[in-house]
Amino acid sequence: MKDLLTVRNLTKSFDENGPVVDSLDFEVKEHEIFALLGPSGCGKTTCLRLISGFERADHGEVRIDGHLLESPDHHVAPQDRGIGFVFQDYALFPHLSVIDNVAFGLTDIPKHKRHVYAEEVLCRTGMGDYKDRNPSELSGGQQQRVALARAIAPKPKLVLLDEPFSNLDAMLRDSMRKEVRDILKKAGMSALLVTHDQEEALSFADRIAVMNDGHIEQVGTPEEVYYNPKTKFVAQFLGRTNIFHADANGSSEVNTNLGALRLNADAKGHVLCSIRPEHLTLEKPTNQKPEEVGTVLGREFKGHDITYHVKLSGEKYLVHTDNRVLFEPNDAVVIKPLESAVILEDED
Ligand code: ATP
């Protein structure tokens, strides 16, 4: 697929505290849903504001379809960038009806056709029956659909979504994510989502850039960043994990507290590793040596699965099993790896 949005060396500082967006490089392809994922304050919204034209860049550039939109000495106004925007609080015009909210940006269409087309787009987002209401007469999920209809109606090349699901309750959030993704995919639009919610990024996006402190740590598909994190930050931000050091001898197997463990690549020397709790399981001890037997410290029962906290050779491990693996606190257990551990870049 062709690159639609290209971001190169994008950098922005607000004060002497250094860049809040630091040399960002990524691209969003045509028809792709891409997420910028990171903790609060890591610079996601600032990046979105630089792409949409609400903020000026100190260094670097933003292009759509090869056309320069932003650089230190070039600035295309937000309304001329061909970008749609769905804000966290939806930002609907309170004094306009639903249909007028959507028709508002359709300046390229003759006036008499705007309402017909706006209604068509509202129907696509399931809001056709609500066209004459005011935004204050809608639920959060309905306002969300109108905001999306307004953003996609002018057929922008790219839609930016700034934490668009954060004001919805958990049940609605799940269904809206799926609906919005389906609408964007059917419309063949590219989208850039900003979120601090890893589950949202993993389930909504085709690819994810994981951000930390102004820079991107890793870009990949949800599966790549989850199963093959490159850094400790990515491993820990994407979900719970076990981090440990091991001494490798040039092969892809190491001896650890967990016994012989496979690695995702050959390695030599002291390496930092991560293994997800669901890639470990627990068994009853049989004839293991005492140092190979751990103790259950506690467990979190979640119905369909259980997370165990286990102490082994002075280290604590998380083990995530299905609900048929049943142990009690203080039980003696053996931790069995089910998958390879992943080698991380060691910053120490
Ligand atoms: P959140 O998830 O909480 O919205 P974020 O990752 O989107 O966070 P930004 O809103 O981009 O982060 O903010 C990054 C940093 O830049 C923060 O430390 C913030 O205080 C600072 N910042 C953002 N806008 C401005 C501004 N206009 N003036 C000064 N500092 C700012």
- For residue 131, pLDDT beyond 70: yes
Is the C-beta atom of 195 inside 6 A of ligand 1?
no
Going from the Cα of 43 to the center of ligand 1, the distance in angstroms, rounded, reads 6
Question: Closest Cα to atom 22, ligand 1: which residue?
Answer: 14
- For residue 15, pLDDT beyond 80: yes
33 and 184 in contact (C-beta within 8 Å)? yes
Output the pLDDT for position 152: 86
Close Cβ partners of 314 (under 8 Å, ≥ 6 residues apart): none
Going from the Cα of 112 to the center of ligand 1, the distance in angstroms, rounded, reads 42
Q: Which domains does the chain have, with CATH numbers?
A: 3-232 (3.40.50.300), 240-344 (2.40.50.140)
| CA–CA dist 334, 260 (Å, integer) | 13
Give the least confident one: 23-37, 117-131, 204-218, 308-322: 117-131
64 and 82 in contact (C-beta within 8 Å)? yes
Question: Closest Cα to atom 19, ligand 1: which residue?
Answer: 41
What is the number of the ligand 1 atom nearest to the C-alpha of 196?
A: 2
104 and 93 in contact (C-beta within 8 Å)? yes
Q: Residue 191: name the closest of 51, 302, 300, 30 by CA.
A: 30
Tell me the torsion sign for CA atoms 229, 268, 255, 253. Answer: positive
Is the C-beta atom of 286 inside 6 A of ligand 1?
no
What is the number of the ligand 1 atom nearest to the C-alpha of 211?
A: 6
Number of helices (H) and strands (E) in the chain: give both, helices first.
8, 21
Question: Closest Cα to atom 28, ligand 1: which residue?
Answer: 14
| CA–CA dist 199, 239 (Å, integer) | 9
- For residue 251, pLDDT beyond 70: yes
| CA–CA dist 95, 99 (Å, integer) | 12
Output the pLDDT for position 142: 85
Output the pLDDT for position 347: 64
Give the least confident one: 38-52, 69-83, 177-191: 177-191
Higher-confidence position of 348 and 187? 187
Distance between start and end Cα atoms, the chain: 38
Output the pLDDT for position 348: 58
Output the pLDDT for position 195: 95
Strands 215-220 and 67-71, by their bridges, are unpaired
Output the pLDDT for position 148: 86
Q: Which two tokens stand for residue 69?
A: 């939109």
Output the pLDDT for position 52: 94
Question: Closest Cα to atom 26, ligand 1: which residue?
Answer: 14
| CA–CA dist 131, 146 (Å, integer) | 9
Question: Closest Cα to atom 2, ligand 1: which residue?
Answer: 40
- For residue 89, pLDDT beyond 80: no
